[in-house]
Amino acid sequence: MSYKKLAAGSDHAGFALKQEMVAYLRSLGYEVTDHGTHTEQSVDYPDFAHPVASAVEKGEAELGLLICGSGNGISMAANKHAGIRAALCWKPEIAELARQHNDANIISLPARFISTDEAKACIDKFLNTAFEGGRHANRVNKIPC
């Protein structure tokens, strides 16, 4: 895969992990646009999910990274966007399947339930796994309403 442009965002619960993951991704040569939040002060996760989803939707970023406490709320908000398939991942195998079978274009991580090393492993699998297409393409094409 040759993904190089990523969009990232988190709420307050995901802020610290997002900071670590953005630094990690940049150290690997990725261009990462950080859509916030930029502090641990309480915020609303949709305010950060929507800019990341919009960036992926418009092609300004090839893939996205979202992080909140459980990973659920932020991915629910992102999935309201046409063409967005945000997948909640907490193990590398789930991240791999999200790309292979679901053509996920945003990875969502649960900051309160995942270590830094687990998060890196999930991101690595997500970024280095291609969509298999084939029988999975028909299923993915049925996702939009």
| Residues 16-33: tens digit of each pLDDT | 999 999 999 999 999 999
**pLDDT (mean) for 5-23:** 98
Q: What is the band of 1 on the pLDDT scale with cuts at 50, 70, 90? A: low
List the catalytic residue out of 68, 81, 89, 122. 68
% of the chain beyond a pLDDT of 90: 97
Question: Is 101 a known active-site residue?
Answer: yes
The Cα 136–Cα 95 span in angstroms is: 16
Question: Is 68 a known active-site residue?
Answer: yes
Tell me the per-residue pLDDT of 66-113, one tens digit each, with 9 for 90 and over. Answer: 999 999 999 999 999 999 999 999 999 999 999 999 999 999 999 999
Residue 2, pLDDT above cutoff 90: no
Q: Which domains does the chain have, with CATH numbers?
A: 5-141 (3.40.1400.10)
